[in-house]
């Protein structure tokens, strides 16, 4: 069988199914099956690879992280974190925009999801910003861009996905590696938010009285304890990532339904059903991606791509720049999870062949994929923000360009200064220390 023809069949069948509007998981599995038929390999290979793809203990952490985030999103967690953020940055010019950036970072440390971030924080702050005189498209642009912090900050289930797609990296090291880049992203977004707010003369935030501070601090501390449980449990060695996720679910359940009591206990059934739907989609996508990744490896696509990149240059800075451009372009038409699962087995060998640390590359890739969430035509986070702000996608996209540029600056800093990603894993876990 001709290898080039097989690769062509794989590509045409995959993109053909996508154009026919099949779900991407079906497109992955279907194109793999068609290619295996051409190669005259046993069909059972597809099923075996799909089962093997989800037969992974670290994957158990994802349902727990998703459930914990869903529980916290259901309650009044967002408004409490907004108030907590307002203590620090709410009093300056364009204060609500800066509060938005900080609140998204704090909520991302709980949910690990950009979609949950924009849904929860956006439902509170987008109407509040519009009411205070901020332009609606600016409010949407700030919120959607700031929510991308959720894909980098632990407990990001996207980092767990990368670990699985990469063949099993330390989730603890990946979580540690995401913290400083997440802060870099937050500060770049805060800077551009402030300059735009000052130029347009947006108002300062409402002052917080001294009497309100103790309650705001208490509520903020209780809310953030979910992230502390996850990170503290993993780093202390008390829990694995899966066990910390399960413990966080118990804490989130007690806090939401018995301490805050913002929603009735009967809503828990709705939360569980919503979590099951999300988890089922994620696991099927992982299974299909594993089969797709296997056929890519069988056809030696990763090594071919490595040779192609190295034929252009052996300079890692140039290759990383090319990889960034490639991932940003792929992020326009492809959602984040399939992008991680498909591109990681292809591009990770390229990066490691150039001497790029795998943990460093993980953060580069996750940030690239996150930026794609705010770009049409498949910008999931952008669409959620537009729905909340009642703003046309075209208008919000135009308003997002300054924030897109700021995120690209953060991406370049993370790409070309490896210690931004590697310093904390080295300090906390001794990663990279001989």
Helix (H) or strand (E) holding 341: helix 336-353
CB 244 within 8 A of CB 44: no
Q: Give dist(CA 38, CA 252) in Å, integer.
A: 50
User: Where on the phi/psi map is residue 207: left (φ > 0), alpha (ψ -120 to 50), or beta?
Assistant: beta
Tokens 């053909």 locate to 16
Peptide bond into 155 cis (omega under 30): yes
CB 109 within 8 A of CB 81: no
Greatest extent of the chain over all pairs of C-alpha atoms, in Å: 76
Name the DSSP class of 357: -
Q: Give dist(CA 257, CA 76) in Å, integer.
A: 10
Residue 432 has a pLDDT of 63
CB 365 within 8 A of CB 423: no
CB-facing half-sphere around the CA of 62: CA atoms within 13 A: 23
Residues of the chain with pLDDT under 50: 434
- Return the structure tokens found at 300: 């030696």
- Return the structure tokens found at 155: 């407990």
**Predicted confidence (pLDDT) per residue in 154-193, tens digit:** 888 889 889 888 887 888 889 999 999 999 999 999 999 9
Residue 434 has a pLDDT of 47
* First vs last C-alpha separation in the chain: 46
Say how far residue 19 (Cα) sits from the centre of its chain. Answer: 25
Instruction: Name the burial class of residue 132, with classes exposed (0-12), middle (13-18) and buried (19+) by CB atoms within 10 angstroms of its CB.
Output: middle
Q: Give dist(CA 434, CA 427) in Å, integer.
A: 13
Task: Report pTM.
Answer: 0.84
The dihedrals phi and psi of 204, each to the nearest 5 degrees, come to -75, 165
Q: Report in angstroms the alpha-carbon separations of 306 from 151, 213, 352, 362.
A: 27, 55, 10, 17
DSSP letters, 70-108, are HHHHHTTHHHHHHHHHHHHHTTSBTHHHHHHHHHHHHHH
Instruction: Name the burial class of residue 406, with classes exposed (0-12), middle (13-18) and buried (19+) by CB atoms within 10 angstroms of its CB.
Output: buried
Q: Give dist(CA 67, CA 77) in Å, integer.
A: 15
**Predicted confidence (pLDDT) per residue in 293-337, tens digit:** 888 888 888 778 778 887 888 888 899 999 999 899 888 878 888
Buried b (16+ CB within 10 A) or exposed e, 421-433: bbbbbbeebebee
């Amino acid at each position: 069988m001709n290898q080039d023809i097989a690769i062509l069949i794989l590509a045409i069948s995959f993109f053909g199914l996508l154009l026919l509007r099949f779900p991407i998981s079906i497109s992955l599995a279907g194109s793999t099956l068609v290619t295996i038929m051409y190669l005259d390999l046993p069909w059972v290979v597809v099923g075996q690879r799909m089962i093997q793809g989800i037969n992974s203990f670290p994957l158990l952490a994802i349902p727990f992280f998703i459930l914990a985030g869903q529980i916290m999103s259901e309650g009044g967690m967002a408004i409490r974190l907004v108030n907590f953020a307002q203590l620090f940055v709410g009093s300056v010019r364009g204060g609500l925009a800066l509060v938005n950036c900080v609140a998204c970072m704090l909520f991302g440390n709980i949910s690990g999801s950009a979609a949950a971030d924009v849904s929860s924080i956006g439902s509170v702050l987008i109407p509040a910003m519009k009411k205070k005189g901020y332009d609606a498209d600016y409010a949407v642009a700030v919120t959607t861009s700031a929510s991308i912090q959720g894909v980098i900050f632990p407990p990001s289930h996207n980092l767990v996905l990368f670990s699985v797609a990469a063949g099993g990296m330390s989730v603890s090291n990946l979580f540690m590696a995401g913290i400083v880049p997440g802060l870099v992203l937050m500060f770049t977004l805060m800077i551009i938010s402030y300059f735009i707010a000052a130029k347009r003369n947006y108002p300062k935030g409402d002052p917080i009285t001294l009497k309100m501070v103790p309650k705001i601090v208490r509520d903020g501390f209780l809310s953030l304890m979910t992230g502390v449980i996850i990170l503290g449990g993993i780093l202390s060695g008390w829990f694995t990532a899966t066990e910390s996720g399960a413990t966080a679910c118990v804490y989130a359940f007690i806090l939401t339904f018995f301490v805050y009591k913002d929603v009735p206990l009967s809503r828990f059934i709705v939360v569980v059903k919503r979590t099951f739907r999300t988890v089922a989609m994620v696991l099927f996508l992982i299974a299909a991606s594993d089969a797709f990744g296997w056929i890519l490896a069988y056809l030696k696509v990763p090594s071919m791509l490595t040779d192609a990149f190295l034929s252009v240059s052996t300079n890692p800075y140039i290759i990383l720049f090319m990889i960034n451009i490639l991932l940003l372009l792929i992020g326009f038409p492809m959602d984040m999870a399939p992008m991680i699962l498909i591109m990681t087995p292809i591009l990770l060998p390229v990066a490691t062949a150039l001497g790029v640390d795998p943990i460093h590359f993980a953060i580069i890739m996750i940030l690239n994929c996150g930026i794609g969430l705010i770009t049409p035509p498949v910008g999931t986070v952008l669409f959620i923000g537009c729905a909340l702000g009642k703003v046309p996608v075209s208008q919000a996209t135009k308003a997002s360009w300054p924030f897109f540029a700021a995120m690209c600056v953060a991406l370049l800093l993370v790409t070309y200064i490896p210690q931004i990603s590697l310093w904390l894993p080295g300090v906390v876990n001794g990663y990279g220390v001989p």
